[in-house]
Amino acid sequence: MKNWWIKFGCFLTGYNYDIMKSSSEASKKSVKKYTAALLIVMILWSLIGFLFTREYIKLDFIGASIAAIVMAVIIIQVERQIILGAKNGFAMTFRIVIGLVMAVLGSVIIDQIIFKDDIEKKKLFTVENEVNKILPQRTDEINSQIKILDSVLSNKELERGLLISEITNKPTIKIPSSTKTFIPKQIESTRIVNGEQIIFLKDTTVIEKSYATTSIQNPKTDFLPKLDLHIDNVRNSKNELSQQLIDVRKGLRAELLNKKGFLDELEVMFAIILSSWVSGGIWILWFIFFLAIELFVLVSKYGDTENDYDKVIQHQKDVRIRALDALISD
């Protein structure tokens, strides 16, 4: 298609194509120059908008792409104010201020992407400090239960030690026992009946007792398995609570790491920039680059001399004003 670049340039800059197509090559050259500058700024800020919304607003690819398009449209409207506006000091100053702000924002956002790995490393130390501050609030109850179980476990282990010592010293104990033996026996007795001595026999049973001592295992030995089982249960309960404590710490660390805040990473990034002249120099270079890109259109506008397109527009304006003045005077 003939003059498609000029048509596209007029669409971006807001120039009238019908006037431009009959203008000189100098005017067309200006349109091409503005178009190239606008494309550079649009592509750059579309990329920034895409990365920012994807990384921090958590939009998907489609949402981030829409944000990039919106950012490009905003940039076009801002740059049109310079391209289509008249040359004056206030507009130039205002655009320079906007350029400074946008250069800072752009360099900061891009640097956060470039220094991503360094920020993650630095953030680990910051997260650990935050975990140490927040963790006690979430683990007070668990720590209290662990202390109670530690006390119980200590007492039971002391009791077990004393029991083992006693069993070692007295593995057996002696218990006295007695047995009874029943022995049948006849007892003689004499009586005098009618002057005669008569012998009587009486059957009876004699009980004989014998005593002995029996050694048996110390009965406290039976308490040892039950005590060991109780100690194991207490120890398992303590281990479960300790695992909960570890899980709380891991969960809190993961929660803080997953919450990627723009301002948090900004603080970390500036700490990195200020910690080394190398990182500081890289940020300054990016800032200068973004500032130069932002002022590209402005410099192009104020560096150009007035061309025939501008004179046609001014002539049409003057003719219209004179016509209106004539109508008013009539």
pLDDT digits (tens, 9 = 90+) for 194-218: 666 666 666 676 666 666 666 677 6
- Residue 210 has what pLDDT? 66
Lowest mean pLDDT of 161-175, 176-190, 243-257, name the range. 176-190
Q: Are residues 213 and 271 in the same domain?
A: no
Domain boundary among 217, 249, 278: 217
Q: Are residues 277 and 199 in the same domain?
A: no
**pLDDT band at 248, cuts 50/70/90?**
confident
Give the residue-averaged pLDDT of 168-197.
Answer: 68
Which domain range does residue 179 map to? Answer: 172-217
Distance of CA 263 to the CA centre of its chain: 14
Count of domains in the chain? 2
- Residue 60 has what pLDDT? 87
Could you tell me if residue 135 is inside a domain?
Answer: no
Q: Are residues 106 and 185 in the same domain?
A: no
If phi > 0 it is left, if psi is from -120 to 50 it is alpha, else beta; for residue 200 that is beta
- Residue 290 has what pLDDT? 77
Q: Are residues 118 and 265 in the same domain?
A: yes
**pLDDT band at 237, cuts 50/70/90?**
confident
Q: Are residues 10 and 113 in the same domain?
A: yes
Q: Are residues 267 and 189 in the same domain?
A: no
Q: Are residues 209 and 265 in the same domain?
A: no
- Residue 284 has what pLDDT? 82
**pLDDT band at 126, cuts 50/70/90?**
low
Could you tell me if residue 137 is inside a domain?
Answer: no
Cα(first)–Cα(last) distance of the chain, in Å?
Answer: 48
- Indicate if the pLDDT at residue 271 is higher than 70: yes
Could you tell me if residue 108 is inside a domain?
Answer: yes
- Indicate if the pLDDT at residue 65 is higher than 80: yes
- Indicate if the pLDDT at residue 262 is higher than 70: no
Domain boundary among 217, 245, 274: 217
Q: Are residues 49 and 101 in the same domain?
A: yes
The owner of tokens 């993650």 is: 120
Q: Are residues 178 and 87 in the same domain?
A: no
pTM of the entire structure? 0.55
Written as one string, the DSSP assignment of 31-85 is HHHHHHHHHHHHHHHHHHHHHHHHHTS---HHHHHHHHHHHHHHHHHHHHHHHHS
Q: Are residues 9 and 112 in the same domain?
A: yes
Angle at the Cα of 277 from the Cα atoms of 273 and 281, rounded to 5 degrees: 75
Q: Are residues 113 and 59 in the same domain?
A: yes
- List, in sequence order, the alpha helices (H) in the chain: 4-13, 17-20, 25-55, 61-84, 89-114, 116-169, 223-258, 262-275, 277-294, 296-303, 308-329
Could you tell me if residue 113 is inside a domain?
Answer: yes
- Indicate if the pLDDT at residue 86 is higher than 60: yes
Lowest mean pLDDT of 161-165, 204-208, 216-220, 237-241, name the range. 204-208
Q: Are residues 292 and 184 in the same domain?
A: no
- Indicate if the pLDDT at residue 1 is higher than 60: no
Could you tell me if residue 230 is inside a domain?
Answer: no
Could you tell me if residue 151 is inside a domain?
Answer: no
Check the CA dihedral 297-302-308-311 and report its sign. Answer: positive
- Indicate if the pLDDT at residue 56 is higher than 80: no
Could you tell me if residue 290 is inside a domain?
Answer: yes
Could you tell me if residue 247 is inside a domain?
Answer: no
- Residue 277 has what pLDDT? 80
Domain boundary among 217, 236, 253: 217
